Amino acid sequence: MQQDRIRNFSIIAHIDHGKSTLADRILELTETVSGREMREQLLDSMDLERERGITIKAQAVRVTWKGHQLNLIDTPGHVDFTYEVSRSLQACEGAVLVVDAAQGVEAQTVANAYLAIENDLELLPVVNKIDLPQADPDKAAKELADLIGGDPRDVLRVSAKTGDGVDEILDAVIKRIPAPAGNADAPPRALIFDSSYDQYRGVVAFVRAVDGVFETRERLLAMAQGTRFEAEELGFFSPTMRAADTLVAGEVGYVITGLKDVSRLRVGDTLTSVGRPASEPLPGYKDVKPMVFAGLFPTDSDDYPDLRDALERLKLNDAALVYEPETSQALGFGFRCGFLGLLHMEIVRERLEREFDLDLLVTAPNVAYRVRTTDGAEVEVHNPAEMPAEIEQVDEPYIRASVIVPKEYVGPVMELCTERRGRFDHMEYLSEDRVVLIYELPLAEVVVDYYDQLKSRTRGYASFDYDIIGFREGDLVRLDVLIAGESVDALSLILHRGSAYGRGRALVDKLREEIPRQLFDVPVQAAIGSRVIARETIKAKRKDVLAKCYGGDITRKRKLLEKQKAGKKRMKQVGAVEVPQEAFLAVLNLDEGR
């Protein structure tokens, strides 16, 4: 296809503003699938794919509209995948920005719009769900126009549900979004904007050919990582996989690589031909590093091998997930896992629990810290227990957060952001009654309970999005918890000096409640280095006897004591102190009630 007949675009929207319904409607309208059969047909093809052992979800669908090839590229839905979103957007020349006519602009709308603008995309503003009784299309259109600096009259008004106005969107895609501008005669270059793993075919890369022509069976090279492989198959989705001999400049499609490990083909990398290599990769590749870390431990230590297998399998399809074995004296064998962000962590945890049926204990999440020690060494710390003792400086990741709220909640949001060491950047009115607040915050202050707090202080109205903006120095300390003088690795925390006292107090109080009394006094302390900042004593029991024991009840008494002993064996031993696993759980859950 000639480049001037190709259009590549995404649909971007806040969650539940109708992105998938609109995509479905486009497939139907372009007769990529027929309306009545659509659902069935898709299901059938999925079954078929399953029979063939292929489980790849289409990340880009090719449709035809009025003599043009339109490639609709899907974007991941959440902030944690900002980088992936930006790569998907880079594969496009334009984006349809959808807003719910009843809800108006939300935080993700803003974040996505900014990302699209950064990637020089042509934006087609659309107000969706105009059929809803509570819809206020004029208001939503005004917010949208204000957001992207346009005219409300240029905002399309549609109902993806009824199909009303969807054809106008497709017309506008052709009319207003520019055609790709690559050089078809240059050495081939393609941007990898997503990848997926299939157990039979290996890694499947989703690519946007920028220059030149790619051919099946050609040896290809991922320029940043240096991975080489043969293109076993090229093709595109419409809506199911269709093999093609070539992918030419401007086109979007897939490459079956036969690689067995997604981490060898990273999103953002540039593919070229080994035989006809391009001299420069496409700009913008970043090696995305995890920012949020937590220890994952099976509640039953026998499940450790299962957890290891499950992580291995998740990792096949999730290049961003990293993990390494971790041993905690308190929690046993587990893994320290790195995630892109909170949602990513939640997704992984949920999949482990649901798909792999594992019962997990997750430690309080922490962020990545960059530490300079007094002897000048620089280390990145992912686990409070690894924090060096002699610290010169600690840098922590910062985010730029945008929070959108009705104006009456500005106060509570500002209060929350201030409590979390936020720095106010600016505030804008999106409309008469809705405001976007921009704050810079340490990521560490957001990983724990921030979102829930935000929601509860705004009666659920706030929406939130963030970008990592870099590392900054923080006044950070490591808080250790000592039980009977022994430091408990799983409970160490890195936190801001200002909140150390309160946190230490809360930890110590909770442990005193949770640890059963022992045969001796047990001091519980929170300490920064050698300085104890909070202390409680779990007083020894004064009495612990089985009142009477005569001939008739020896068996029962023996069983009672044997059971007691077995109970002790199940507890985690911290020095001489037996600590029930529930105590750790309660402390790790402390944050939920902060």
The residue ranges that bind other proteins (CB under 8 A) are 519-520, 540-555, 557-558, 561-562, 564-565, 568, 576
Nearest distance in Å: CB 538, other proteins: 13
DSSP assignment of 497-561 equals HHHHHHHHHHHHHHHHHHSPP-SS-EEEEEEETTEEEEEEEEPPPS----S---GGGHHHHHHHH
Nearest distance in Å: CB 517, other proteins: 9
Nearer to other proteins, 497 or 559 (CB): 559
Nearest distance in Å: CB 522, other proteins: 11
- Please state, in angstroms and as integers, the Cα–Cα distance from residue 252 to each residue in 5, 126, 158, 221, following that order: 13, 24, 27, 18
Q: Is the distance from CB of 489 to CB of 569 less than 8 angstroms?
A: no
Nearest distance in Å: CB 508, other proteins: 20
Q: What is the dihedral of CA 183, 96, 33, 8, to 10 degrees?
A: 0
Helix axes 497-514 and 581-588, enclosed angle (nearest 10): 150
Paired tokens of 224 = 């940043």
Nearer to other proteins, 120 or 562 (CB): 562
Nearer to other proteins, 313 or 557 (CB): 557
Paired tokens of 77 = 């839905």
Amino acid at 398: Y
Question: Strand 122-128 vs strand 94-100: parallel, antiparallel, or unpaired?
Answer: parallel
Q: Is the distance from CB of 204 to CB of 254 less than 8 angstroms?
A: yes
Paired tokens of 574 = 């911290």
Nearer to other proteins, 31 or 544 (CB): 544
Nearest distance in Å: CB 524, other proteins: 18
Q: How crowded is residue 68: how many other Cβ atoms within 10 Å of its Cβ?
A: 16
Nearest distance in Å: CB 558, other proteins: 6
Q: Which of 412, 407, 402, 411 is nearest to 440 (CA)?
A: 402
Nearest distance in Å: CB 520, other proteins: 5
Nearer to other proteins, 181 or 561 (CB): 561
Nearer to other proteins, 497 or 558 (CB): 558
Nearest distance in Å: CB 513, other proteins: 14
Nearer to other proteins, 354 or 543 (CB): 543
Nearer to other proteins, 217 or 568 (CB): 568
Helix axes 38-51 and 19-29, enclosed angle (nearest 10): 100
Nearer to other proteins, 260 or 563 (CB): 563
Nearest distance in Å: CB 329, other proteins: 16
The 3-state DSSP class for residue 361 equals strand
Q: Is the distance from CB of 239 to CB of 32 less than 8 angstroms?
A: yes
